[in-house]
Structure 1
Amino acid sequence: MKQLTTALAAFAVLLVLTAFGLPAGAAGPSLGATQAYCIIDAETGLVLAQQNMDQELHPASITKVMTLGLACEKAQGDWTGVVTVSHEDVYSLAGTDSSHIALLEGEQVPVKDLLYATMMASANDGANVLAEYFGGGSIADGVQAMNHQVAELGLAHTHFANPHGISDENHYTSCYDMAQILRWALTQPGFEELFTNNEMYIMQPTNLQPVTRYFSQQDSMRIGSSMFYEPTILGSKIGYTDIARQTYVCLAEKNGVKVICVTMRSESKADRYTDVRALLDYAFSTWTGYTDVPGMTGAASITVRGGGDVLGTLSLDAPGIRVPLAAGLTAEDVTLSIDLPEVYTLGGELNGWAVYTVHGGDWQETASIRVPLTTTGLRNVLETSRGAAHPAAGDVAPRSGIPMVMEAAVLAVVIVGAGAFWYSRRGAVVRLNRAQPADSSYKQK
């Protein structure tokens, strides 16, 4: 891979900032009662502030964000399906003293009920059933799907051992990873509706349960009558085990700026409430809008090969972006670098990225996001390599060999150019000694 680094044409040299001086102090609050946190921009995934964001910790029930995200992906907006509760769904939780809705083996439950039970009542039995649902077999199949999604997202500090979050030495995540998991989950059909619901949910009787079950909001920061109410929070998931302590993930918005905030290992509920509010107050006083950062036409070029021959050179463009910048920063504090292979071979993926880095100094976390490069020039390369223009519609003669492969590759490149945002970030890796204490008792919520 070659790394072609180019400052955006209109940008001033970052050293100018140093000449004028930067404010003293670190970017982001320093929390004592909460071990780790991460705030990201919900739109781009850009890290805005953090403390120990890569430290691997027990997540408790915020695990269910991944479980619910995969269930929503599986359902594709159709929540009318019915799932039968298995023996493992119920009895694998025996002796855990964890949250559940008393599902019975053989009980037939609509997917919608399972989603709301898992989200609002933090039902571990519901999470088990959903794991079987999207895993296509056992709970273990569902957990495998969860870890596959972790790999797809490129997350380095997460491994799941179950779908509910009961503490296990092989079950861990980081604040950064969980923030990106929620950002991904919010793109799945119906997930945002589920995650932000604040109304009581009523689960009707089933084939084995004659009672009606009611699920209400458990997060005091989303209950208007609570002294802890925080109006900027749109949706949230709370977690707790004796080992994990208090964990929290939320989506919040103010004045059009949306952030995802994750806190892990807060010592008490009061600490969690206090620290989450402090982080959101900080976020919405620091980032009050978005700044447009221009892209660059012809930001890079790449050699195109096909059938063993060099077909030409392809020009690539870096699309513009918009990012939240703290006061004191401008678009000139964002630099562009290009991450691109030496050669593109027709039929493969063009893994080319525009990497935008915000140099935050002490105003904001220095962090990067990755955006797919775009191109509209591949057709010209194909035309030149054939030495003739495309025939008009209705005048297409049969062709074989390399030209047909070339044609097929056009669509692949366009799709790649429209891919989802990825990201890159700095920070040391802090490993957590995940050995459990001798007394491993806990109660999860």
Structure 2
Amino acid sequence: MSATARRPWPMPWKMALGFGLGLLLGLAVHVSGADAGWVRAITDYATTPLSRLFLNLIFMLIVPLLFSALVMGIAEMGDIRALGRIGWKTLAYTVVLSGVAVLLGLVLVNVLEPGAGVDPALARELLAQNVERSREIVASVDTQPRGMDMLLSIVPSNVVQAASENASILALMFFAVMFGVGMVLTPGEKVATLKRGIEGLFEISMTLIGLVIRLAPYAVFCFMFNLAAIFGFDLLLRLGAYVGVVVLALALHMFVTYSVAVRLAGRSPLAFFRGIQEAAVMAFSTASSNATLPTALQVADRIGLPPKVSRFVLTVGATANQNGTALFEGVTVIFLAQFFGVELSLAQQFMVMMVCILGGIGTAGVPSGSLPVVALICAMVGVDPIGIGLILGVNHFLDMCRTTLNVVGDLTLATLVAHGEPEGPGPEPLPSRQGDGRA
């Protein structure tokens, strides 16, 4: 190969190209007639199956990756006291960052009032257009655990069943944490073989996901083509004020709150955001924290976060540190209350804030995983849950935005937790790690 051979495009550029082409072609199709038979044929038999195939391939590997990464992250600490310190720091920073996110969203939605003065006829029309999908989501509210049941559901009675259900991913993670703690407490010579096996499972999962990620630019094209061809800008423009408030709140939290947090951890915010851009683009493209986890783990290695911290914090954060989701839920509930003319007291809004923080921790890290939680909170404060039909047309775009904040928040959280942690000698590298060529 000659020295002048062109270097391959970086993956973020490829995904950005797929995003742009999909959006432009989708808009062109929408303008020319989105209801045409050939358009439906393309979306039904080409773009939608391809995009689903990509996500299915990712989710197929998420369970072994989550389990092995979390177990190894705990086992490599080698000291149960270190697990306690990192675990408590992770929990504390998660609550603080989620609380700031929800509070920021509630302040903006109350000051700007995007739901005030909406045309009632338009509201009824949008509800009618999305009523079936809304009812499906609202119906799932009854199956969501509440109160003490929500707490008890974290401890799985059947770990295999928990692994097979995305909604029970926290239960799987609890089992992985307990498994890792058991490995730490068990004499090393008795679990050395098992530890190497789990390490091998982690490496195999990362290798396979690396192959799947090569399909990401094509999947991104399909995602954006479907979104633009079916919805266009019509619904986005009608709900522009709501979208603007959500995006503004997400942007402020990302570039102000996270910059302050990274600076407190002794790092340059500019260098931090430059280093994590691949994970941010992947999160925006897939709208899934779980699907972005492999990329986030690789990015954490490149920006110099200790693996014993990043594996634990990022795998937990993929489900439990959903800052963007918590913020989105709070803004959406207040927006719908304004839309339907429901006055919420400060006490009710405080309750909304608390539930959103918990909802951000307990929401599955999959596309649109927060919609049932929004419906549940609406019912709690006297807002008709069917109103979520108003936001379905713009939900995919906002899902991509809030997932980006979730993933950046996970990396910010890992940076905060890693700050001040002693490096120590760490575990001896396993043979499978040597010479793997990863940056």
TM-score band w.r.t. shorter chain: under 0.3
Higher helix share: 2
For normalisation by structure 2, the TM-score amounts to: 0.25
TM-score, structure 1 normalization: 0.24
